[in-house]
């Protein structure tokens, strides 16, 4: 099996382009939604690294599950905490 240099280079170039995109978009007046756009792009970049640099794409289902576990529990934490904050009737 050869080292797949071409695939790694394509992934790296895509990551560079996504970085340029998220940096550029931060300067546009997108109201309060710029944070969400930049985080979505960060998730896409993280996904590329997980799939190709960490080789989850070529791993067995056990690794797929384990790699998703931490992010899944973290998403519960973030979701439940922010739901509490945005659903409170703040005094004053």
What is the phi-psi region of residue 89: left when phi exceeds 0, alpha when psi lies from -120 to 50, beta otherwise? beta
- Tell me which residues touch other proteins (CB under 8 A): 1, 3-5, 8-9, 11-12, 15-16, 19, 22-23, 26-27, 34-35, 38-39, 41-42, 45-46, 49-50, 52-54, 59-60, 62-63, 66-67, 69-71, 73-74, 77-78, 81-82, 85-86
């Amino acid at each position: 099996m050869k080292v797949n240099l071409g695939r790694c280079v394509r992934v790296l170039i895509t990551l560079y382009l996504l970085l340029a995109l998220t940096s550029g978009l931060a300067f546009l007046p997108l109201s309060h939604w710029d944070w969400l756009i930049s985080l979505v792009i960060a998730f896409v970049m993280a996904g590329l690294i997980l799939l190709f640099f960490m080789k989850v794409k070529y791993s067995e289902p056990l690794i797929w599950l384990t790699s998703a576990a931490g992010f899944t529990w973290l998403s519960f934490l973030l979701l439940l905490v922010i739901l509490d904050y945005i659903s409170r009737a703040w005094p004053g």
